[in-house]
Structure 1
């Protein structure tokens, strides 16, 4: 199997605004965020779907920590945590979206409007705030 985009980010072969990285997972800003501060958490080892993930607990502990950090670091009212398996999965590598939410932010159902960062520096500042909240 040829490497996918997320495998390249995990390997450091493709640039990304990495928020955290350890032996279980890598978390980085989504390049096309629903809202600024939208993080993707991916397992370090390549797996395509949740059913393929051998040890779910440690991975979802990272997702849980990221949800807390996004709320705290960005002063968000909450988070939207979601994942697709195959259908609507834009990259064939398991990934969990952690999206900062505020009341009346306009997100409705499963329509995910996308935004952009104004600059690379702005994206880096969001990544830093979330990383700092992780401790």
Structure 2
């Protein structure tokens, strides 16, 4: 884990080794502009503690994330926007440190484009899945 942290670009940003356009900082959270934005105002909100996936981050390091994303929405004036968090390469995660995107969607060309491949469901199978997940909550 130490070697992953040492090479992690977001950990380097947290430590001040790489500069960023810092929008917010607390003891547990950092928000900054994305340097390869999908639209004007595209920003990232990250926990300062290193973890590759959401399940690797302690709950108390996640409490500020959505309130900060909300402040970014207000500060940018975005009327339509996406809050996005990817886990794993197959789910389009590029940097192996948990990060949340706030991506303004000002028009059809800018911002996040999404495919939503809905699948038909069998209600009996859905009920069984519901019972399985609910029992583990």
C-alpha displacement at 1:40, in angstroms?
A: 0.8
- Matched-pair contact (CA < 8 Å) for 2:21–2:33: yes
d(CA) in 2 for partners of 1:81, 1:5: 21
d(CA) in 2 for partners of 1:13, 1:70: 24
Map of 1:46 onto structure 2: 50
Q: How many residues align?
A: 108
Runs of 4+ in 1 over 4 A off after TM superposition: 103-107
d(CA) in 2 for partners of 1:95, 1:70: 14
The structure showing larger relative contact order (alpha-carbon pairs under 8 Å, at least 6 residues apart) is 1
TM-score, reference length from structure 2: 0.70
Alignment of 1:1-135 (within 5 A): 1-2=2-3, 3=6, 4-55=8-59, 58-59=61-62, 61-87=63-89, 88-102=92-106, 104=108, 106=110, 107-109=112-114
d(CA) in 2 for partners of 1:66, 1:78: 17
TM-score, reference length from structure 1: 0.70
When structure 1 is superposed on structure 2, of 71-80 and 12-21 the one drifting more is 71-80
* Pair member with larger Rg: 2
d(CA) in 1 for partners of 2:99, 2:107: 25
